[in-house]
Amino acid sequence: MRAAVALEVLEAVHSPELDNQRDVLVYLPPSYHRSDRSYPVLYMQDGQNLFDPSTSFAGEWGVGRAMNAAARRGLEAIVVGVPNMGSERLDEYSPYADPTVGGGGKGAAYADFLARTLKPIVDRRFRTEPGRERTVVAGSSMGGLISLVALLRHPRTFGAVGALSPSLWFAGGAIFSEVEGSPYVPARIYLDIGVQEGPQHVANARRLRDLFLSQGYRIGADLRWLESRSGRHDERSWGRRFARALPFLLGMA
């Protein structure tokens, strides 16, 4: 019998950095209300695509089911699903403006919102392990891009990143210059791409992988790389890969 997916809603969380507000979804592990334990936390972008097919753009990741399955293996964590703001998504998910697509530029403020406003709220409201090594930021596509930016710009807050099919092409590949100019920080980096997404996206992901290697990250240790032959740019593919990456992201593999 499957355990129910327990979600709480933090209503109308205001962001002074972005001057907007949104409801935030919080998944609580099965043991949360039966113990006094504290838990690691994953902050995930595109929150409406994580748990519920009725709110998702094109199918959901099945994060609740994946977390419940992991819990049966003794791996539990809180997941904070941060919904995107629809028409503001591109603006918030990149600090670099891209005039060719008409978006970007508010990503620094969004990363600040995650680190300086939302995380303190979550730490006050729930029993979390607040240290950076137990705090993960993750997302796919543009959500993967901004998750990388959040790690690079807030290394004292986040100790791991999951970047699934990140949109490395955005703003002419500006993320590559940022990575090149960023110092090495101890962190767990999960990076993947689906071969079915096309050769240019695969080449971009390999380029980023190699940049991390040149900075001292080690595949199999603090860098996990997956090039999925059947992987596509969709929620189903990301959900499957997220479930497999979870132990590494939480520092338990």
For the chain, give every domain's residue range.
6-249
Q: What is the pLDDT of residue 87?
A: 94
Distance CA 241, CA 75 (A): 16
Q: What is the pLDDT of residue 221?
A: 96
Please list the ranges in the chain whose pLDDT falls under 70.
1-4, 53-59
Give per-residue pLDDT as tens, 190-201.
Answer: 999 999 999 999
Contact (CB, 8 A) for 8 and 28: yes
Instruction: Look up residue 117 and give its DSSP letter.
Output: I
Please provide the size of the chain in residues. 253
Q: What is the pLDDT of residue 23?
A: 97
Q: End-to-end distance of the chain based on CA atoms, in angstroms?
A: 27
Domain 6-249: what homologous superfamily? Answer: Alpha/Beta hydrolase fold, catalytic domain (3.40.50.1820)
- φ/ψ of 117, rounded to 5, equals -110, -55
Cα distances from 11 to residues 108, 127, 128, 241, in angstroms, run 23, 18, 19, 29
Which 3 state secondary structure label does DSSP give 215? coil
Distance CA 166, CA 148 (A): 9
Structure pTM? 0.95
